[in-house]
């Protein structure tokens, strides 16, 4: 596990483009919620020097009826990204929290075979995946 979790956002209107969160001082991930097209990750710090809360927001991540996705699936995407970042870069200094999917890729329907693969075993993609970037990462003591 790295020493810091890097989030590609800062406090709103602060001009900060990255926030470093000391991983060793994280006490708990208290919530990951998706509502009104906004996913919010809340991290509670536990160390006596950094008792407080980080709130990370990701706009543009919502369940899409056309893809059969739900808010719970979007919350899982955010949890998966956070867990991957916390486990990455063992012995390193910085691990980056990567963007979460905003819209999954869409393969062509009926592009051949029972496995959905087209000619030569390739799957044709009709719409590429898009990813939502983190909007804010705010620390409150």
SS3 121: helix
Whether 92 is in a domain gets the answer yes
Question: Would you state the structure tokens that stand for residue 18, as one six-digit string?
Answer: 């990255």
Whether 27 is in a domain gets the answer yes
pLDDT for the residue 81:
92
pLDDT lower than 70: segments of the chain: 48-50, 60-69, 109-122
Whether 117 is in a domain gets the answer no
Whether 115 is in a domain gets the answer no
State which residues form the domain around 33: 4-104+131-140
Q: How many domains does the chain have?
A: 1
pLDDT for the residue 93:
94
Whether 34 is in a domain gets the answer yes
Whether 66 is in a domain gets the answer yes
Whether 111 is in a domain gets the answer no
pLDDT for the residue 103:
80
Q: How far apart are CA 88 and CA 2, in angstroms?
A: 7
pLDDT for the residue 114:
54
105-134 pLDDT, tens digit per residue, is 877 765 555 555 555 566 778 888 888 889
């Amino acid at each position: 596990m790295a020493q810091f979790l890097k989030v590609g956002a800062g406090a709103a209107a602060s001009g900060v483009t990255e926030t470093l969160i000391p991983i060793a001082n994280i006490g708990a991930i208290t919530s990951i919620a998706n509502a009104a097209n906004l996913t919010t990750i809340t991290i509670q710090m536990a160390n006596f020097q950094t008792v407080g809360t980080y709130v990370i927001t990701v706009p543009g991540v919502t369940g899409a009826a056309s893809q059969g996705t739900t808010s719970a699936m979007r919350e899982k995407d955010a949890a998966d990204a956070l867990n991957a970042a916390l486990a990455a870069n063992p012995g390193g200094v910085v691990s980056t929290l990567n963007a979460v999917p905003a819209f999954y890729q869409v393969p062509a329907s009926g592009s051949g075979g029972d496995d959905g693969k087209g000619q030569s075993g390739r799957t044709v993609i009709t719409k590429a995946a898009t990813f939502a970037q983190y909007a804010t990462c705010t620390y409150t003591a």
